[in-house]
Amino acid sequence: MSQVRRSIAVMATLAAVVALPATASAKTSTAVSKTSVAAVQASVDKASKATKRLKRAVRLDQGTVAKRQLRIARSQTAAASRAARRMANRASTEDSAATAAQALTIAGTQYDTLLETLTALVDDGTAQSLIAGSIQPTIAGEQQILSVLTSLLDNVSSTTQPLLASIIAGLGAGDADEVVNLDSALDIGNLPAMITGIVTQCLEMATAAIESALATIQSILPMLPTEAQAPIGAIVTQVTSIVGTLVPSILSTVTGLIDTVLSSLPILGTSASGGEGMFGGLLSGILDGGMLGGGSVPGGEATGGIMDMISNLLGGVLGGGSSTGSGPAGGIIATVTGLIDSLLGGLLGGVVPAT
């Protein structure tokens, strides 16, 4: 998981709970909610620790330790998911739905961390079979979290909805590390035949999961923060129009662009502590200057709107053009990478978050 994607999830959870009225019954409800979120966080903490120990055990070729830590990581991640989903099922108010969304985001972030770890370790000999066999259930677990989060969109307040939609977009298509890891493991060619078959199935499932996330983003586009709707809408519309499965390199580049856009959003006007927006208000000056409809970078040369540039550059490549390499794939990668480096990088002061 990219650092930007992890930061989005962490910061989002900090702002997800809406304050309840200061009545006796509300205080009781708040206490129950916090206890539930705390239980989810406790399971995630155990899972995170086990995941780190799993990586270390594999690196040191400690097979027995790796198997034990894998079992703990999976069971604690699943426990966090169950607790969070129970909260969602019981949510009957906007406040309780927001609290459930917080718990689900915490659990979903852990699923993403575990998935990235498993796919990075699958080509290692230590506990290789168990690690390979754990990937598909982990993908399915994260998909279940995303499905429940999406179902809560209509149940949270209008102020929380853009935040929740951004969380869904970020967790669903904020990067494609798992796809890249699995593809690399297959490319190396050192996997046993049995593991190769499993990893191939995992790659297909991981790719389908991201493609499904892109379709979900398209369906919830009006719920995303206004600043994100134009650029992300242009990206997703163009990418989902491609017939056939997107290759890992293209998925990685496109999700990296989505990650960059999401990381730039001043989703909340103020942070929980009353400071600047949780994403630093990076796009606020640009939006105030009318950049979505055309304008200029402060201190820079004139340029077209973000939506037009993405539609024209990315859309033209998807239509068959290519700026480098051969065929549409090379053009997509070159164009989107250039877009991140020059367009968004320039608009955000020349610094592009790592993906």
Q: Computed from CA positions of residues 66, 72, 78, 81, in that sequence, does the dihedral angle turn out positive or negative?
A: negative
**In the block, residue with structure tokens 């939006």:** 287
pLDDT score for 35: 59
Confidence bin at 228 (pLDDT 50/70/90): confident
pLDDT in tens, 295-314: 333 333 323 344 444 444 34
**In the block, residue with structure tokens 């990206």:** 235
* Domain range annotation of the chain: 1-224, 228-355
Instruction: Give the residue-averaged pLDDT of 48-74.
Output: 96
Do you know the residue count of the chain?
Answer: 355
Q: How far is CA 255 from the centre of its chain?
A: 9
User: Which of 49-63, 189-203, 336-350 is most confident?
Assistant: 49-63
How many Å apart are CA 227 and CA 348, to the nearest integer? Answer: 14
Work out the angle at residue 190's Cα, subtended by the Cα atoms of residues 185 and 191, and round it to the nearest 5 degrees.
70
Helices (H), 60-157: 63-90, 94-121, 128-151
pLDDT score for 5: 54
CB atoms within 10 A of CB 326: 8
pLDDT score of 315 more than 90: no
pLDDT in tens, 183-215: 999 998 788 988 999 999 999 999 999 989 999
Residues 81 and 107: beta-carbon distance below 8 Å: yes
Three-state secondary structure call for residue 303? strand
User: Which of 74-83, 207-216, 250-259, 342-351 is most confident?
Assistant: 74-83
How many Å apart are CA 314 and CA 236, to the nearest integer? Answer: 10
